[in-house]
Amino acid sequence: MSPLRKPAVVLSLLLLVAGPLAFGPGCGGVAAEPASPVLVIGIDGLEWSVLRPLMQAGRCPNLRALMERGVFGRLATMVPTQSPIIWTTIATGKLPKQHKVFGFIDGKGRPYTSSRRGGRALWNIADEYGLTSNVVGWWITWPVETIRGVMVSGSSSAALIADNWKPTLLPDVPDQVHPASLTDAIMADAAHYGALERTNALAVERIFGPGTKSLVGPVENKLIDQTLWSVQSDETFAEVATKVFAEHPADLNMVYLGGTDVSAHRFWRHYRPGDFTWKGSDAADAALHCVIPNYYEWIDEKVGKLVASVSDDTTVLVVADHGMTANKHFRDRAPDLTREQYVTGHHHDGEPGVIIAAGPGAATGGDVTAFLGGAPPPVLGRVTNVAPTVLALLGIPGAKDMVDRAHKPLLAGEALRHAALPAVTSHDTGFREPGMKLMDADMEKAFSDRFRALGYLELEGAEGGAELVHPDALDGGSAPAPEPGGGPRPDSGSCAVTAPR
């Protein structure tokens, strides 16, 4: 981490942009006193049974370091396990009927936007209590909101739902950066980190290795191309967030990374062929076996850089919305590609996610040795506990209209005492009513153009819709199955991707 920095020192500078200090009705005009600054790293679909063999092999050292100095466990999720729903629940502490985000797109095919969200999210609540926030790439944050700090939106569009169901950042789209004065600099960084040449190089060097497309068939080649968007998004948001967090210290820092989920959806068949009874391609299984572990290791490096970008007195939460396993619909048969998407990893039954807490506001005593030996991590709350737990770290009380309270086994010291603060009735008093600001045709076209530039030629389908994720049961307690080992890193000729055409 960086040397100790006090976010309050920069508050006055940010107020020049964000507006005058005016505390909300819930805090009685008194600023909150955080137990520590907070960094929340959202990593979609992170799965303990993938992490265990990697850590046994000495990989993912940054996540392991956080586990060793804090606590960790399984995070019970909710159904359906659709990213926009759960990540909005994580940010608000509310169920969909309260926060009004019900999926990727509504019944009329319109993407959900931040203006349609009901109620305040963590960054809005922090704002009400005089605290600063930086939010980068989080679900349903376009258009950006006016906060004390920096917001870089995460957006998606109906045109992209078929092949990429994660947020991204694009040129020529308004309202993606707050304050507006940072737009040019952040979009220049996004253009650099998201450049096609850089994306392809990262895909070759870190995820697939050189030569893979020549070793596999058209189905697998399409899976590789479809994953490029996630590589681009994660590289862009991770690097932009690292820079924003370092240059604009804040009380609350939040960033979302989604490619761990995408890679597992697409390559689970090749990662664990034994989970399926049908015969696949031995050549494809050999060439693509390491894609998921490689993506995890790459994201672990991003975690290390993000942690280093904030002060040493920061409490870090790593949160995954759900876990991952073999797609139960395709365990005994291969997908029919005339009518089905090739999605062999899934979370239909609400496989629990990951939570790791480390730092001055976090409890300690997580047993990494037992975990590496095969013991299941304990259950440490559910997704509705995350928002009130973050509020406790920030010195802000929970609210009676939130589903849960702060999860005390995650907390220590002053944060644990904050968890006992009497709950206010609601943090939403005086918040604007949900609106209907939609992406215009030009914005949809910008998404589609970038989508095509990365090699996605088919813009129709519903992989990110109802067919993709409709779990039928919440499973907050199943233990991840231990794996015999993470497998070796692929050699230089085993995996690759070439530039899309």
Count CB neighbours of 397 within 10 A. Answer: 22
DSSP 140-201: T-PSP---SEEEE--B--GGGTTT--S-B--TT-SS-EESGGGHHHHHHHHHHHT-HHHHHH
Count CB neighbours of 102 within 10 A. Answer: 17
Q: Is residue 253 within 8 Å of 131, Cβ to Cβ?
A: no
Query: Which residue reads 């939130």 in tokens?
Result: 402
Residue 487 and residue 380: Cα distance in Å, rounded? 29
Domain presence at residue 386: yes
- Both tokens of 113, joined, read 């936007």
Stated pTM of the model: 0.86
- Both tokens of 210, joined, read 């050189």
The confidence band for 264, taking pLDDT boundaries of 50, 70 and 90, is: very high
Domain presence at residue 200: yes
Domain presence at residue 193: yes
The confidence band for 104, taking pLDDT boundaries of 50, 70 and 90, is: confident
Count CB neighbours of 401 within 10 A. Answer: 15
User: How confident is the model over 399-443, as pLDDT tens digits?
Assistant: 999 999 999 999 999 999 999 999 999 999 999 887 666 666 655
Q: Which residue has the higher pLDDT, 22 or 387?
A: 387
Residue 104 and residue 156: Cα distance in Å, rounded? 8
Residue 183 and residue 177: Cα distance in Å, rounded? 5
Domain presence at residue 6: no
Domain presence at residue 460: no
The confidence band for 66, taking pLDDT boundaries of 50, 70 and 90, is: very high
Name the domain count of the chain: 1
From 100, 166, 127, 483, select the one nearest 326 (Cα to Cα): 483
pLDDT for 309 equals 98
CATH number for 370 = 3.40.720.10
Which residues span the domain enclosing 406? 37-453
The whole-chain average pLDDT of the chain stands at 82
Domain presence at residue 13: no
Domain presence at residue 469: no
Residue 279 has pLDDT above 60, yes or no: yes
Residue 159 has pLDDT above 80, yes or no: no
Domain presence at residue 231: yes
Q: Which residue has the higher pLDDT, 205 or 498?
A: 205
User: How confident is the model over 363-404, as pLDDT tens digits?
Assistant: 999 999 999 999 999 999 999 999 999 999 999 999 999 999
Residue 165 has pLDDT above 60, yes or no: no
Residues 6+ apart with CB under 8 A from 345: 264, 265, 266, 267, 268, 269, 271, 324, 325, 326, 327
- Both tokens of 410, joined, read 């995650």
Can you tell me the mean pLDDT for 289-302?
A: 98
